[in-house]
Structure formats: structure tokens, C-alpha cells
Amino acid sequence: MSSNVTVEVSERIATITFNSPKTLNAITQADYDAFTNALREVDARDDVLVTIWQANGKWFSAAWLSAPFAFLGIATEGCCSVTFRSKMGTAKANEVLIWGKKMDAQELLKCGFINQILPQQTVPEFQAAVRKLVLERLEHSDPVSLLTIKRLIKAGLKDQHNFDAVNLRESYVLAERFASGVPVERLQKIARKELKHKL
């Protein structure tokens, strides 16, 4: 199975890019595997201080967040049942994860899910602006201190939440949901326009 995930490393920045704009960067099993492997490889490199995860096309540059898990008949994934609550609070996480409420960029900024909103621009301009911002911040940071602080933050989060356990739990529930046939049935209804939802 081929993947549409690429990895580039330069100037101490690893850039992992999803390249499926025609499918809005829908992630296949091969993409999940490639992304996971890319993260592990980048994590093991001494020449990388920061990783940028981006996508070509509309998916990552959209100005809203949508997680229609219940609508699609599936369960949460990627540890978002913990990380969303941690980043945006229980009430907002419930709205997004249970009810599929879309949050625009201003709402995401206000609840602390994102740090900054960049001006609207083309995808290549946006990617260049993010890279420039990261390079400017790296210029004034001691690499050893930066990596040490990141390790301490990661250790604190791991102590607070066992993400391996969370991810495993979500994966089992997600597999059960797909095995039930409900997600496929709902996606087929969406394709036939018998069920409407703005994904």
C-alpha cells in the first residue's frame, strides 16, 4: 500500500506533509503507518528540534475544526478524547467530540486550542509563513534547553495521561464501530445524498 506522506528535514525542522488534496487528505491505513513511522524516525534524530505537520490542499488550512465522530457512527481517535479536553476544557470538548460542533479559528484561539491565527493566504504562503515563524523562534533558542523543556513537558503529560492506554482504548472502540457496519452504511448514505452533514 502506498502512502501520500512525505518527510523533509532542513534547518533543524522536520516537515511531515500529507499530499492528498483531492480527498481532503483523508488518511488511509498506509498514511497512518507512514505518519507513525515518520514521527518515530524524526524523534530519533539529533538534528531535529521541531516538527511541522502540514497538508497540501484545503484540509489543514481550513479555518474551523470538525470532528463528526458520532454522526459517522465511529468513535474518537488519536487520543483526542483526552487531548481535546486537556486543551479546550471538558464542555467544549464534549460539544466537539460528542455533538460534532464545528469550532472556527476564533473559538479555537479563545479556548486555547491554538496559539495564533495567521492571515488568510494560499497554502504555500501559509506553509512558508509557519516555517518562517518557527525559524525565527529557533534562532533565539538554545537547542539543548529547548529539547530538555520539551522532554519535561512530555514527561509531565505522560504522568498525567497514559496516552498509549488512551490510544489503545480508542483504537479498540474504533475497530468495534467499523466492525458494526454503521460507519460504512452512514458514509454510503452521505454519498447517495440520503444523509446530509457538513463535514
pLDDT score for 90: 93
Q: How far is residue 180's CA from residue 17's CA, in Å, rounded to a whole number?
A: 32
- Does pTM top 0.75 for this prediction? no
Q: How far is residue 82's CA from residue 167's CA, in Å, rounded to a whole number?
A: 9
3-state secondary structure of 94: helix
- Ramachandran assignment for 122, one of left (phi > 0), alpha (psi -120 to 50 degrees), beta (any other): beta
Q: What are phi and psi of 26, to 5 degrees?
A: -60, 130
pLDDT score for 42: 95
Q: How far is residue 53's CA from residue 163's CA, in Å, rounded to a whole number?
A: 19
Could you give the dihedral angle defined by the CA atoms of residues 118, 81, 7 and 120, in that order, rounded to the nearest 10 degrees? -20
In order along its 199 residues, the chain shows pLDDT tens digits of 578 899 999 999 999 999 988 888 877 888 888 988 999 999 999 899 999 999 998 766 444 788 888 988 888 887 888 889 988 999 999 999 999 999 988 999 999 999 999 999 998 999 999 999 999 999 888 898 888 888 888 877 776 777 788 788 888 888 888 888 888 888 888 888 888 765 5
DSSP letters of 113-156?
S-S--PPP--HHHHHHHHHHHHHHHHHTS-HHHHHHHHHHHHHH
